[in-house]
Structure 1
Amino acid sequence: MNFSWKIALLGLLVLSACQKKEIKTAVSDPNNDFLVKIHTELGDIYAVLYKDTPKHRENFLKLAQEEFYDKTLFHRVIRNSIVQGGDPTSKDAHRGQKLGKGDIGYTIPAEMNPTHFHKKGALAAARLPDSVNPEKESNGSQFYFVVGKKFSEQSLKKELIDYKKLIPAFREWLKKDELIDLRTEVYWADMDNDQKKVMNWAVQNKEQIEKELNIELDRTISEQAKQFYLTEGGMPLLDGDYTVFGEIVKGMEVVEKMSKLRKDKYDRPIEDISMEITVSEIPKDKLRLEFGYVE
């Protein structure tokens, strides 16, 4: 290779390096914050990412700016529940293909914070269940928005029962000699695999179980979370199990519309809903005035 060709090649390499997109995970001014825009066929969704979930925030910002999410689908929609996306295998997926198992090759350590709960509009990370993921680590790319529903005092109280503790406590309580008749009924329900009936018995006897075994079978939430669930809605059942790392500041109606779409047996919309994500750095004052968001 002669000298002139070496110079030309070096110039191309320098140009390529200069054109490489800069990935920003920290704001240039402490008075600024990042605004995430998710463009879909149904409209635009705007979200902010929490600073006290830094691993999730930085990961999402990085993937978004690398255009990882572009052309991926919202592959799971459930009315009064969630809208989920970010599966890399959803790009160019054929119609009817089951999605949701894709990952990016790594997980993110859980960053749960009681001040961030599953209110309507919350942005949270999807993950595998406790049986294979006891540390509750998040999928590296998949996320969901909470739609949820509003609760009454009574329905919220039932929603906050810690069912993971209730069933073992119920079975321990059943060992009492005087409960032989109920224990027999539970045995036959187990034989019929009728777990709904077992659950109903457990709930009906919850207060007695708590009293006799001296245990607490309710999950605790803040007063702020309680009031939000009563007035605006959300999914308290998910609190403490998934990392909430952001929230919608505009475009909730787009997510609600998405949750009501016709879907197949896998909860995937019949008509594909793709996304394109962009990130911009804007003044916090603008976030407050135009989007009503205050840290």
Structure 2
Amino acid sequence: MRIIVLLMCLFITGSVLGKKPSKRKDYLVTINTDFGAMRVILYNQTPKHKANFIKLTREKFYDGLLFHRIIQNFMIQGGDPESRTAKPEQMLGNGDVKYTIPAEFVPELFHKKGALAAARDNNPEKASSGCQFYVVQGRVWDDETFQKQTERIAQMKGRQPTDAQKQVYKTLGGSPHLDGNYTVFGEVIDGLAVVDSIAKQPANPLNRPLKDLRMTVSGEWMKKKKITKQFGYSYPK
């Protein structure tokens, strides 16, 4: 099974990216909602997840799906194919495609507010769902509560956020306890207010919004200079 999954990932990477894209361009994702649009960059450090998300976007896989799980001050989750025709009160979150993506943990990619990350089940390899994702809202941490949080993280995982990451968690915000457990493969570079608007919607006890929150997802290759100029995103050197 693991060999099949790896072959699938190689196929996705090759068929989506084809010839090596120009270093001057990047794939800009737009997630449209009733509350506005989120513009998203996919990280080159997580190539399997990037290629898979581009593939699904091009196939219009996400169009009409729901943000089916929302928790204020935590995250908004979507991408369950069963949500397209789900009935009210139907439990969602188990729908998927027929493959997973191997975990791509990169220490410098962390769960700051706006981080795009892959959902997963409890598989021991921490492989990602082939389609379900979440966007972090998180919270802003003060010194005392963040210190307690990072002490717990260190005890469980033997790791600590860097000083730069700590500063982000204490200013922009995020969910540091998720680091090292779920693959972060992109970030919202425009439209963080949309995350806040979705996260605060009324939901049932299973965290499904009472009103269907549908998405459409599109993408285009764009010059990096244009992305930086238009959205203020700085590419790592």
Tell me whether the two structures share a fold, i.e. TM-score over 0.5: yes
Q: In the alignment, residue 58 of structure 1 is paired with which amino acid?
A: A
Once the two structures are superposed, what CA deviation does each residue of 1:103-123 show, in whole Å capped at 9, x if it has no partner?
101111000101000000000
Identical columns (%)? 44
Contact 2:68–2:92 at 8 Å: present in 1 too?
A: yes
- Who is 1:32 aligned against? 25
Return closer, same or farther for 1:25/1:279 CA change in 2, 3 Å cut-off: farther
- Who is 1:271 aligned against? 211
Cα shift at 1:242: 0.4
Q: In the alignment, residue 157 of structure 1 is paired with which amino acid?
A: Q
User: d(CA) in 2 for partners of 1:25 and 1:43?
Assistant: 32
Gaps of 5+ in 2: 1-14
- Who is 1:221 aligned against? 161
- Report 1:1-295 matches (<5 A): 24=17, 28-129=21-122, 133-162=123-152, 165=155, 219-295=159-235
Once the two structures are superposed, what CA deviation does each residue of 1:185-206 show, in whole Å capped at 9, x if it has no partner?
xxxxxxxxxxxxxxxxxxxxxx
| RMSD value, Cα | 1.8
- Extract structure 1 runs of 4+ deviating beyond 6 A: none
Cα shift at 1:219: 3.1
Secondary structure, in 3 states, of the residue corresponding to 1:33? strand
Q: In the alignment, residue 142 of structure 1 is paired with which amino acid?
A: Q
Contact 1:81–1:146 at 8 Å: present in 2 too?
A: yes
User: d(CA) in 2 for partners of 1:283 and 1:27?
Assistant: 15
Return closer, same or farther for 1:294/1:164 CA change in 2, 3 Å cut-off: closer
Once the two structures are superposed, what CA deviation does each residue of 1:220-273 show, in whole Å capped at 9, x if it has no partner?
111111110111110001011000000001111011100000011110111101
User: d(CA) in 1 for partners of 2:192 and 2:37?
Assistant: 9
Cα shift at 1:162: 3.7
Q: In the alignment, residue 233 of structure 1 is paired with which amino acid?
A: G
Once the two structures are superposed, what CA deviation does each residue of 1:17-68 show, in whole Å capped at 9, x if it has no partner?
xxxxx95566642201110001111111110000010000000000010011
How many residues in Structure 1 have an aligned counterpart in Structure 2?
221
Return closer, same or farther for 1:37/1:27 CA change in 2, 3 Å cut-off: farther
Return closer, same or farther for 1:88/1:287 CA change in 2, 3 Å cut-off: same
Once the two structures are superposed, what CA deviation does each residue of 1:53-97 show, in whole Å capped at 9, x if it has no partner?
000000000001001111110000100000000001101101111
**Structure number with larger C-alpha Rg:** 1
Contact 2:153–2:177 at 8 Å: present in 1 too?
A: no
Secondary structure, in 3 states, of the residue corresponding to 2:194? helix
> Larger % of helix: which?
1
> Larger % of strand: which?
2
Return closer, same or farther for 1:157/1:219 CA change in 2, 3 Å cut-off: farther
